[in-house]
Amino acid sequence: MGEKKDYLRKYHFHRYQAKPFRNPYFQREPRGKGGSVFNKSYLTMVLAAVGVIGFIYLIGFAKFWMIKDVRVDGLQFMPGTEVAELAEKQLSRHRYIIFPQRNKLFFSKGQLEDALDEAYSFEELEVGVEKRVLTIHVKERVSEVLWQSGSLAFYTDVSGTVIRELPPDDVSLLTFHDTTQPTLDGRVVEGPYPRLMYLHGLPLIENEQADEVHPGDHVLSAAGIAGIIEINNLLQERGLIIERYVVERTDSVWARAEASEGFDVLFDAEGDIAAQVGYLTAVLTEDVPDHSKLDYVDVRFGNHVYFKNK
């Protein structure tokens, strides 16, 4: 009997140790695989998100990647601030929505070159990044004439290629007269005027058709440009000041020179300029010495010269 009691005692003891009876109202969450995996996955996602954010910041926004300066060299006539401002405008933009182009890893060389080509017509253009400096090396086309189309004026080279639009300060100097001071937006442009003689020394050609013009466009033949430059120099040597040259179309070879004395000279820009100036000189000295009575002189047809009085 004693052995039987011992057996039952051991049986109930082991059953108690196994804890098969649980209170349904006081049960603990199981500490099995499900809860452990969930906690580890959540932690992994948080760490991965922190890592991605840190990587994006390191690559996209850390200071040692940022371009801090813009250097422009090779310019002779136009101010470098214009080119630098255009470059700074691009650096302030973003790429791939979030990354600033001031970051040299995300700076678009091609976009800046396209923007510069749209605004100017350089003979040579090279863009690069050295350490934290954006470098822009250019070689300018030399402006030989000014081309006016409508209300806009442009620097133009000897081949007839438009280089760039005149900035407002230079436009104000074009309207300068001896009795006034050049103004811009109602304010007087302070003197002395170092660019005044340069601008007034360039022949101003006006297009009567007022065709739309952009940098890089060809507005007149190289021979036509050369002819206008030559006649302008020869007339200046004879003390005759031409305020502007007028052409009807961009493909025209005939031009009209408007003299400050109040008469016009009609000439062939691709003809014999020296001969035409010789005929004009003869009319002004022999036929109509009083230039105030003269309306125009036409020297386009060789030794058949025509003139009209007012």
Question: Do 127 and 154 fall within a single domain?
Answer: no
The domain total for the chain is 2
**185 and 201 assigned to the same domain:** yes
| DSSP H/E element including 226 | helix 222-237
Domain with 123 in it: 64-139
The last residue of one of the domains, among 107, 139, 171, is 139
Pick the more confident residue, 276 or 78: 276
**Six-digit token pair at 244?**
């502007």
Residue 77 lies in a domain: yes
Q: Specify the pLDDT at position 259.
A: 93
- pLDDT per residue over 98-122, tens digit each? 778 888 877 888 899 998 888 888 8
Domain membership flag for residue 190: yes
Q: Where are the beta strands (DSSP E) in the chain?
A: 69-73, 94-95, 99-100, 124-130, 133-139, 143-149, 152-157, 162-165, 183-184, 187-188, 204-207, 242-247, 254-259, 264-268, 294-301, 304-309
Residues 128 and 185 reside in one and the same domain? no
- Percent composition of the chain: helix, strand, coil (DSSP 3-state, to 5): 40, 25, 35
Please give the span between the terminal C-alpha atoms of the chain, in angstroms, as a whole number: 155
CATH (domain of 100): 3.10.20
The average confidence (pLDDT) of the chain is: 80
| 10-30 pLDDT per residue, tens | 666 666 666 555 555 555 555
Same-domain check for residues 258 and 130: no
Same domain, 95 and 124: yes
pLDDT of residue 179: 42
Residue 66 near residue 132 (C-beta atoms within 8 A): yes
Tens-place pLDDT, residues 218-244: 999 999 999 999 999 999 998 898 999
Contacts of 203 (CB under 8 A, 6+ apart): 144, 145, 146, 228, 229, 232, 242, 245
Give the end of a domain, one of 105, 139, 173: 139
Residues 255, 265: Cα–Cα separation, whole Å: 8
Give the pLDDT confidence of 286-306 residue by residue, as tens digits: 988 888 889 999 999 988 999
Residue 293 lies inside a defined structural domain of this protein = yes
Considering only CA atoms, which of 211, 202, 203, 204 is closest in space to residue 249?
Answer: 211
Q: Are residues 198 and 133 in the same domain?
A: no
CATH number at residue 251: 3.40.50.11690
CA–CA distance, 300 with 287 (Å, rounded to integer): 18
Shared domain for 85 and 148, answered yes or no, is no
Q: Which residue has the tokens 């060299």?
A: 73
pTM of the model: 0.64
Residues 88 and 224 in one domain: no
Assess whether 162 and 134 both reside in one domain. no
- Sequence length of the chain is 310
Q: Are residues 148 and 282 in the same domain?
A: yes
In a domain, 155, yes or no: yes
Is pLDDT at 60 greater than 90 in this prediction?
no
Residue 161 lies in a domain: yes
Of 139, 159, 189, the last residue of a domain is: 139
pLDDT score, position 254: 93
Window from 49-53, 125-129, 207-211, 273-277 with minimum mean pLDDT: 49-53
**Segment 26-59, tens digit of pLDDT:** 555 555 554 555 577 777 776 666 666 655 555 5
Q: Are residues 194 and 212 in the same domain?
A: yes
The answer on pLDDT for 215 being more than 70 is yes
User: What percent of the chain clears pLDDT 70, i.e. is strictly above it?
Assistant: 74
Domain-embedded: residue 34: no
Assess whether pLDDT exceeds 50 at residue 192: no
Same domain, 132 and 157: no
Tens digit of each residue's pLDDT (9 = 90 or more) over 140-190? 888 889 999 988 999 999 999 999 998 887 887 776 544 455 555 666 555
Q: Determine the pLDDT at residue 105.
A: 79
